[in-house]
Structure 1
Amino acid sequence: MRSRIAYIAWALANFQAVFGKDANITLAPAATGFEADGTAFYYGSSPVVLANDGSAADGGFRVFNVDKDAPWSQRSHQKTGRSKIVMPVYDVGGRDIFLNIPAPDSILRAFEVKGVGLEEVKHARKKVLGDWSTLCIWRSAISGENYGFLFGKKQVVQLLIRGRKKDTEILKIQTFPIPIEGEACTVFSNGLVYFSAEDQPLYSFQATESTTAREIKTVSKDIEVIGLATYHSTSGDYLFVAHDEVIDVYDDTLSQKGSIGLSGITDLSIEGGLSIYQGSAPGFPSGIIALAFEGEDSTGVAVGSLDGVLSALDIKPNTEFSPRDSCKSCEDAVPERCSYNGFSPDNRSCQCFPGFSDRDCSEQVCKNECSGNGKCEGPNTCKCSDGWEGPDCSFVAVQAKYETDANGGDGDDPAIWIHPTDASQSKIVTTTKSEAGAGFTIFDLKGKLLQHAPAEQPNNVDVITNFTVGSNKTDLAFAACRGDNTLCLLAINSTGFLSPVAGGIQPTPEDYEVYGSCTYHSYKTGKQYLFVNNKDAEYLQYELTSTANGTLQTTLVREFIGGSGGQVEGCVADDATGFLFLGEEPEGVWRYDAEPDGSNTGLQIAKVGDGILSADVEGITLVPAKSGNSGYIFVSSQGISAYIVYERAPPHKYVLTFTIVNNDQAAVDHVSNTDGIAAVGNHLNSDFPGGIFVTHDDANELQEGGTAAEASFKLVSLENILGVERIKDLGY
């Protein structure tokens, strides 16, 4: 009886959730078998839908024919690398193109539509360093020019996409800050750009043909957003907002017109990428919606018909809409008087685009004159000399000597265990936080996989040395385990292999979801502590002890909010000085007292957007000198796939920025979207005479093309990063 009542209650709730809306769309999986975040319709001779491919093994983007019956046939798959973005742009010098920017190399690529095929316009490639989430296209009703707004880590890059002299050209107009990482965006006909992300407010700015940064306005803190799209009706524009299993619809005053329930896919999770096709197509006379989804049985792109939906919401249909419609009497926004390289809002002076200067924007220049480490070969385009990298050749370029064997679907963080008597036998400990392959993995100093120890999705791993377990001194590996929200500890034996330990799974408070973690050994008291945080920046500090019979125990001794309360993850403690350094992903690096009775007020020592550090701040590690307070703090800056080095001693002055480039001789690729890191200054062997730096690589590129399905970590000589003199000063 109870089960029947429960079923009736579930059915009633489901009915109300879906059919209690103003309209309903039954979704069908149209394209599956890959990881999609975004979709976009292309209005060609017959419509097609584009979808990014975020899977590691294939990546790039896919193009599917629209059909009345699912699944839809695939027309093209461009394997450019793991991607989040693909977007059509119309009438670029008389050609239609698709834009795509893969994560591994941050190169924006243009593909010309040729009949039913695609051909890359290779000379149009544009390096836009960063970690990008979504792209919106605005076509000016004044000039007819196409502009792209590329959203990333708390910033937007405005691009001009144009055709000149039968060529496709992409120019950067400006970069301006936004309060969040924009994950969804859409543009109204009047140039009003809306953007948001999960659990974030809805924001907007007005697109204009100017190099002046946009004013960001908070539209609403109450509208839930996973996906955004615009329907261009004959009576005005309407904002479609997807979240949970529903699409809410708003008019151009942001008054809600109603809601559309979504059904047809079991355990539907909207991953983003809401898009609308307004024309008539076979089986879809009133238009189509598409979105990226994950369901009980599949992932990919789901579609549904707009039949009956618009009338239910009292929206006048517009199946004659064309994204090619533009100005009737176009004005020249990028005039000849500015050498076609700048705006002239007053029809006299010029606002030059970045990389151009002089009164008429005729001179090409590069930022910082390529820092003296390269040659300027185009507008803000440096060709760096050997040993240098980055937009202005200011990043030290280093190569990894080895990479680890592939392991797990979502590797995250490494730690380094130093063998007590033979440093050449030291080991690397890494974590896999995805369900597939979850656990700890041990590698040797050439990256060979030696052991995998299953665990509940461990994240940041640290090594604890010489901890007394019972009556014995033991080394331990510690991490926060996301799978069951516990503190996970394993014993490390004399050869560096892992084994269970009594009390190795310690609880955290109910409803506390662990995220990042690190350890601290107090030289003041000799006590061992564990730090753990959640996404709300709530830090918990535990004292780690052991019973006489060798069972580990933890005692909560402190709680505090880290940073400004934004998302935190990586942290590292300086045992000798009693400092705790933590990374707040969108904001920067903070320093706290590590002792449990220390101040809960932190000091920000590095800030995102200060000209050095970029979001997201991910891994943090410390290389102290053998004696004294010198040494270095390393911070991974995910948005620019680089690492920032600061002095260990206050006031923690900036030292250098480095990035890891291809080592073609060793067949080890570069690092992109860096995450967890670890380093030690000890002499290990001839490969790592002054220590080792280990980093996670988000997209491990293969020699034969594409990216590996599983994660890897890169192994770099610390001497190649810091130089011989700095290594000597560490005193090991």
Structure 2
Amino acid sequence: MTSALRIIDLKPTVATEPVGTDPDDPAIWVHPRQPEKSLVLGTNKTSAAEGGALYVFGLDGKIRQVFGGLDRPNNVAVSGSLAVATERLKSRLRFFRITDTPKPLTDAGALPVFIGEKDDFAAPMGVAFYLRPRDKALFVIVGRKNGPASGYLEQWLLQTNGPNVTGKLVRRFGSYSGKKEIESIAVDSAAGLVYYSDEGFGVRCWSADPDAPDASRERRVFAKSGWKGDHEGIAFWGKYVVCTDQITGGSLYYGFEKNNPDMPRFVIRGGADETDGIEICDKPLGKRFPHGLLVAMNSGPKNFLFYALPKINSL
């Protein structure tokens, strides 16, 4: 990496209750009026028969709801009051409305993806929303367990006016090294960029807008060297994109400047085991998290760890 790399050591403020079988990916819902009542969603990545579910946690780490019956939910994302999870064994996306109620999640329908594909080519994994600034069009971008060297990802334009979410496929895009798989996807909607982890290779960046002049070409590839484990979860913290190095006993989270990602500027050490997914909210979320929240999957204890972030202007 680099000798100038800043090390940020964090201790978890909260450890959630365990999810039971196989935690994978978190997402954060920010309460629109009372940020201390925000919620964290997390997947239990197993079959429906074995307890596949979305778990909802309060910021105290306590379980608020378990939405079961999902067939191997892999990753989850949130945009406003809408959540989406990939359902690998059904080759579809599942949508949920989020409300400030005792049971925050309600079903908002399903959307088949990778239609006509088979086996791992049809098994959705990573997922992220893209809200286009110029017209507020809402898209979802989804990856899969395996795919071609070109066109690995699908992007769907969503319609959310009715009770259930519907969608229209607008493109397949994205390069793939063929080394392992592509799981983590994150979108910087303001910048119009989608980042995704090509495991064992690096982090790729494309335009998130299917109508952009450069939508058909890769913008950049970074984080290609210095990794000890798989390239996993991606999140955004101010001007930085934070990328996970999945390490047994102590995963690392490297921060790259979005505009100059050639070398990382800092690394966060928090002790989470073999982290798959991460998420960051850089807004104040009450007394526990006055400068923001980092959520990291923690493999061994089968839970998620919540870290209070320092002030971003101190970096």
- Structure 1 unaligned residues grouped into runs of 5+: 1-367, 373-392, 466-474, 625-630, 661-669, 701-710, 727-732
Matched, 1:571 2:185: yes
Could you say what secondary structure the match of 1:500 adopts?
strand
1:617 maps onto 2:231 in alignment:
yes
Mapped pair 1:423 → 2:35:
yes
2:89 partner SS: coil
Task: Check conservation: 1:429, 1:441, Cα contact below 8 A.
Answer: yes
Contact 1:400–1:716 (Cα < 8 Å) also in 2: yes
Give the whole-Å Cα distance in 2 for the aligned partners of 1:449 and 1:459.
Answer: 19
Residues 275 and 299 of structure 2 are in contact (CA less than 8 Å); yes or no, is this contact kept in structure 1? yes
Partner of 2:279: 678
What is residue 697 of structure 1 aligned with on the other side?
298
CA 1:490/1:394 → structure 2, altered by over 3 Å: closer, same or farther?
A: same
TM-score by length of 2: 0.87
Instruction: Please list the CA deviations of residues 241-284 of structure 1 after superposition, one character each: whole Å capped at 9, or x if unmatched.
Output: xxxxxxxxxxxxxxxxxxxxxxxxxxxxxxxxxxxxxxxxxxxx
Closer, same or farther: CA 597–614 of 1 in aligned 2, 3 Å: farther
Q: Deviations over 1:540-567 (max 9, x none)?
A: 10011035x4332110000023343442
The match for 1:497 among 104, 108, 119 is: 104
Match of residue 135 from structure 1 = none
What is the alpha-carbon distance in structure 2 between the residues aligned to residue 441 and residue 614 of structure 1?
Answer: 30
What is the 5 A alignment of 1:449-468? 449-454=63-68, 455-465=70-80
Cα separation, 2, equivalents of 1:426 and 1:652:
34
Cα distance in 2, alignment partners of residues 428 and 607 from structure 1: 28
- When residues 543 and 684 of structure 1 are mapped into structure 2, their CA distance, relative to the original with a 3 A threshold, is same
Provide closer, same or farther for how the CA distance between residues 647 and 394 of structure 1 changes in structure 2, counting only shifts above 3 A: closer
Q: 1:635 aligns with which of 239, 243, 259?
A: 243
Question: In terms of mean alpha carbon deviation, does 504-513 or 580-589 score higher?
Answer: 504-513
Residues 615 and 603 of structure 1, relative CA distance in 2, 3 Å threshold: farther
**In 2, Cα distance between equivalents of 1:446 and 1:586:** 35
Within the candidate set 547, 558, 563, 2:171 is matched to 558
Contact 1:590 1:604 in 2 (8 A): yes
Q: Which residue of 2 aligns with 1:446?
A: 60
Residues 314-345 of structure 1: CA distance to partner in whole angstroms, max 9, x if unpaired? xxxxxxxxxxxxxxxxxxxxxxxxxxxxxxxx
CA displacement at 1:394 relative to structure 2: 6.8
**Among the aligned pairs, what percent are the same residue?**
27
List gaps (5 residues or longer) in structure 2: none
Q: How many residues of Structure 1 are paired with residues of Structure 2 in the alignment?
A: 296
- Counterpart of 1:326 in structure 2 is none
Indicate the SS of the match to 2:94.
strand
Decide whether the 8 Å contact of 2:223 with 2:262 is kept in 1: no
CA deviations over 1:371-396 (Å, ceiling 9, x no partner): 79xxxxxxxxxxxxxxxxxxxx9743
One-letter code aligned to 1:588 = G
Residue 601 of structure 1 pairs with residue 211 of structure 2 = no
* 8 Å Cα contact 2:77/2:129 also seen in 1: yes
The answer for the alignment partner of 1:658 in structure 2 is 268
Whole-Å Cα distance in 2 between the matches of residues 480 and 414 of structure 1? 12
TM-score under structure 1 normalisation? 0.39
Does residue 1:507 correspond to 2:116, yes or no?
no
In 2, are the aligned partners of 1:671 and 1:698 still within 8 Å (CA)? yes
Secondary structure of 2:265 counterpart:
strand
Does the Cα contact within 8 Å between 2:273 and 2:300 map onto a contact in 1? yes
Distance in 2 between residues matched to 1:546 and 1:712, nearest whole Å = 31
Q: For CA contacts below 8 A with separation 6 or more, give which structure has more relative contact order.
A: 2
Distance 2:133 2:281 in 1: 19
Aligned twin of 1:241: none
Residue type of the alignment partner of 2:183 = E
Distance 1:724 1:607, change over 3 A: closer
Aligned mates of 2:237, 2:138 — CA distance in 1: 19
Whether the 8 Å CA contact 2:6–2:265 is kept in 1: the answer is no
**Structure 2 match to 1:725:** 314
How far did 1:597 drift? Answer: 2.6
Please list, as runs of the form range in 1=range in 2, the aligned pairs for 1:66-85 lying within 5 A after superposition: none
Structure 1 vs Structure 2 CA RMSD: 2.2
Cα separation, partners in 2 of 1:545 and 1:679, compared to 1, 3 Å: same
Look up the SS of the partner of 1:424 in the other structure: helix
Conservation of the 8 A alpha-carbon contact between 2:174 and 2:206: no
Structure showing greater Rg? 1
